[in-house]
Amino acid sequence: MLRTLLSLVGLAVVGYVFFFVPLGQRTLYQHARRIAGTEEAQELGREAAVAAEELKEHLEEQIERHVLDAGPDAPSAAPSSAPAPEEAP
For the chain, how long is the longest CA-to-CA vector? 82
**Closest C-alpha to 69, from 61, 81, 59:** 61
Tell me the domain boundaries of the chain: 42-70
Q: What is the pLDDT of residue 81?
A: 58
Cβ atoms of 27 and 20 within 8 Å: the answer is yes
Q: Does residue 88 or residue 3 have the better pLDDT?
A: 3
pLDDT digits (tens, 9 = 90+) for 27-75: 999 999 999 999 999 999 999 999 999 999 999 999 999 988 877 666 6
Q: What is the pLDDT of residue 26?
A: 97
Q: Does residue 24 or residue 86 have the better pLDDT?
A: 24
Q: Residue 15 and residue 8: Cα distance in Å, rounded? A: 10
Q: Residue 81 and residue 48: Cα distance in Å, rounded? A: 42
Q: pLDDT band at residue 86, thresholds of 50, 70 and 90?
A: low
Cβ atoms of 54 and 61 within 8 Å: the answer is no
Cβ atoms of 27 and 18 within 8 Å: the answer is yes
